[in-house]
Amino acid sequence: MRVRRLSVAAVALAALAATTVYAQHAAAAPAVPRPDHIVLVMFENKNYSSISGSSSAPYFNSLASQGAKFTNSYAITHPSQPNYIALVSGGVQGVTNDDCPKNFTGKENLAHQLNAAGFSFTGYSEAMPSDGYTGCSSGNYRRKHNGWVNFDNVPASGNLTYASFPSDFTKLPTVSFVSPDMCNDMHDCSVGTGDTWLRNNLDAYAQWAKTHNSLLIVTFDESGVSLTNKIFTVFVGQHVKPGNYSESINHYSVLRTIEDAYGLAAIGGAASKSPITDCWQ
């Protein structure tokens, strides 16, 4: 009988050990899911309070109710251009103004990381006159809102007009950045104009993403006249757990989260930030 009791105890201990090992492996599993596609859309120069709960932004707030709304999201600096550069490269690269052009040789950035790892990146800019365009302005297009064009290791094929954004979302690259024009991004036009543009242009993708292992990120480059630089940011997609999230995040947090999703090394300021992990199903 004593032998039997010892045998039962040994089995129990073995089961406990196995459970502990499993739990350790589970805890070590990647905390950020890997979407087939991420589309990030950046708007311009609006305080968080100008969007969140605003009757002028019904579609932004509808997206927030469908996904993860970050109630303490912040830009990096002012003015616009260094924020676009920071979001793709983990740093402002010494840029403190909107002067054009800026050219960076051999600087690491998300587009180059993705391409080197066998994934893909494309930036789509509305009103840009042609694919691969490197000019500073044309009509309602401004290069200062196109962060990826500044890096010499991002090919021209990764810098396309918004007219090239596919209607068949399965043909999207792994990660896309979308930059609306100077009116539709709210820089020169109203919140309502940007809200309508977002609904008309990205709602189809947002709804598709929720059932096709994909993610939409909507954010702003910077706030308006605000010392805190607090901005509206929302994630919508299949793996997103809807709700409000109060942790403090910024552009580097978003970059770090995208990098973690694809197993990429965190670069620049992203290395000092934690990935966003609490909003996933």
Same structural domain, 85 and 160: yes
How far apart are the C-alpha atoms of 47 and 224, rounded to whole Å?
A: 5
Same structural domain, 263 and 179: yes
Q: What is the per-residue DSSP string for 112-178? A: HHHHHTT--EEEEETT-SSTT---SEETTEEGGG-GGGGBTTS-GGGEEEGGGS-SSGGGS-SEEEE
Query: What is the token pair recorded at 118?
Result: 């066998």
Same structural domain, 109 and 228: yes
pTM: 0.90
- Domain count of the fold of the chain: 2
Residues 6 or more apart whose CB falls under 8 angstroms from that of 275 comprise: 31, 32, 253, 256, 257, 259, 260
- Does residue 153 belong to any structural domain of this protein? yes
Same structural domain, 2 and 56: no
What is the extent of the structural domain holding 122?
33-272
Predicted local confidence at residue 22, as pLDDT: 38
- Does residue 128 belong to any structural domain of this protein? yes
Q: Could you tell me which of 276, 250, 264 has the C-alpha nearest to residue 87?
A: 250
Same structural domain, 11 and 109: no
- Does residue 171 belong to any structural domain of this protein? yes
Same structural domain, 247 and 262: yes
- Does residue 121 belong to any structural domain of this protein? yes
Profile the chain (281 residues) by mean pLDDT over runs of 10 residues.
45 44 41 98 98 98 98 98 98 98 98 98 98 98 98 98 98 98 98 98 98 98 93 98 98 98 98 98 93
CA 184 to chain centre: 19
Same structural domain, 136 and 14: no
Same structural domain, 46 and 99: yes
Predicted local confidence at residue 28, as pLDDT: 42
- Does residue 279 belong to any structural domain of this protein? no
